[in-house]
């Protein structure tokens, strides 16, 4: 899988830009604030349907324009496909795949698979559980688009349940209905997360051994409140979740919020049996984060039969020279887009096939 070309019209600081890419390495060089990350953001938009930098689509429109367009031609499974997204200030976002409009973002997911790695991802290990849940949800949704709908529906019911818990009068029958629906969607989320964490635990452990010359062993554990077993079925999980919701009902009413559920999940990351978040050095935390991100790439390859596109946003400025080289040398047959403000970073790609784009004031010159 690789992105052949990208067309931008009135996107961020770009008026109109058409770029052709190398199927291996594409390096975007330029000073900060010139538009390098905007290109990565546009590619991510084609994959996920939203930005990784803002929740407001209108932020993607050039400040003095009414509409923004992003189009990407890509090859997957030896077939050419095109995704086009139009964002308007006064209209809903429109998405087309091969010239056919789609109604739901879940229909977009899984078409163009992308993994992004930014300086924020280096904080994945030491930040709070919300960031790790976001990491899990984003990757499962790419592999299993239906999962995205489970998350949307779960959050909708969770919001309604919490609203009821905050009200002056609590309808117990309505609360029971919410519990049933929450356990429906939540149990699927638990199931997919459990299996996902199990897979990335195996992959990340192998990758981490390679990155640390087999000195360190990485382990990842799925943390949830209902003690899911490795062989639990959907029915088993739903029974446990619903039972926990009911037993916790008085506490939820007192606290006016839902204390039990996958919205409280986390993953624990260990190096040589020690919690790296608590006891790991900064270097160990960063290497563990790299191992997690690389495991995403390998998992997508296992699941869909092709490597995803890798976006590296200013990541080299955060890594020492050894980790820079290890990161680049870890990939074969992966299309990579890299942003950097340092011209000296070209040395990392010696003897590799690379296209270099010089980005300045909303223009990318090859």
For 256, left (φ over 0), alpha (ψ -120 to 50), or beta?
left
128 has binding-site annotation: no
User: Which residues have C-beta within 8 Å of that of residue 85, sequence separation ≥ 6?
Assistant: 45, 46, 49, 69, 70, 71, 93, 94, 95, 96
SS3 339: strand
36 has binding-site annotation: yes
285 has binding-site annotation: no
Continuous H helices in the chain: 36-48, 129-143, 145-166, 172-211, 234-247, 249-255, 276-279, 282-304, 321-329
198 has binding-site annotation: no
Q: Strands of 25-29's sheet, edge to edge?
A: 114-117, 309-313, 336-340, 25-29, 354-360, 363-365
CA distance 99 to 274: 51
Q: What is the dihedral of CA 178, 183, 184, 185, to 10 degrees?
A: 90
CB burial string 206-235: b at 16+ within 10 A, e below: ebbeebbeeebebbbebebbbebeeebeee
37 has binding-site annotation: yes
Name the residue with tokens 């390098």.
36
325 has binding-site annotation: no
User: Which residues have C-beta within 8 Å of that of residue 152, sequence separation ≥ 6?
Assistant: none
33 has binding-site annotation: yes
SS3 160: helix
Q: Is 162 exposed, middle or buried (0-12, 13-18, 19+ CB in 10 A)?
A: middle
30 has binding-site annotation: yes
Task: Write out the binding residues.
Answer: 30-37
Task: Write out the binding residues for ATP.
Answer: 30-37
């Amino acid at each position: 899988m690789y992105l052949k070309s990208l067309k931008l019209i009135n996107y961020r600081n770009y008026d109109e830009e058409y770029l052709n890419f190398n199927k291996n390495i594409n390096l975007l060089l330029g000073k900060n604030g010139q538009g390098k990350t905007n290109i990565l953001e546009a590619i991510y938009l084609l994959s996920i349907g939203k930005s990784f930098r803002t929740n407001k689509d209108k932020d993607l429109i050039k400040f003095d324009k009414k509409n923004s367009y992003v189009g990407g031609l890509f090859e997957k499974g030896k077939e050419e496909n095109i995704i086009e997204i139009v964002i308007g200030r006064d209209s809903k976002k429109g998405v087309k795949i091969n010239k056919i409009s789609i109604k739901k973002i879940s229909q977009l997911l899984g078409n163009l698979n992308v993994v992004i790695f930014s300086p924020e991802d280096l904080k994945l290990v030491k930040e709070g559980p919300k960031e790790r849940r976001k990491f899990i949800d984003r990757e499962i949704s790419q592999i299993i688009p239906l999962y995205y709908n489970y998350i949307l529906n779960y959050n909708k019911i969770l919001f309604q349940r919490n609203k009821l818990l905050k009200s002056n009068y609590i309808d117990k029958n309505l609360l029971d209905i919410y519990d049933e629906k929450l356990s429906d969607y939540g149990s699927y989320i638990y199931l997919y997360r459990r299996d996902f964490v199990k897979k990335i635990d195996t992959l990340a452990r192998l990758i981490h051994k390679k990155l640390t010359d087999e000195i360190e062993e990485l382990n990842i554990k799925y943390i949830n409140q209902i003690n899911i077993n490795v062989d639990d079925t959907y029915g088993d999980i739903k029974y446990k979740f619903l039972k926990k919701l009911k037993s916790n009902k008085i506490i939820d009413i007192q606290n006016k919020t839902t204390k039990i559920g996958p919205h409280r999940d986390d993953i624990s990351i260990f190096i040589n049996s020690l919690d790296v978040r608590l006891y790991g050095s900064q270097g160990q935390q960063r290497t563990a984060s790299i191992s997690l991100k690389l495991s995403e790439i390998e998992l997508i390859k296992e699941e869909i039969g092709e490597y995803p596109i890798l976006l590296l946003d200013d990541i080299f400025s955060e890594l020492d020279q050894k980790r820079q080289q290890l990161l680049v040398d870890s990939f074969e047959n992966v299309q990579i887009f890299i942003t950097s403000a340092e011209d000296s970073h070209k040395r990392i790609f010696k003897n590799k096939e690379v296209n270099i784009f010089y980005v300045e004031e909303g223009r990318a010159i090859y």
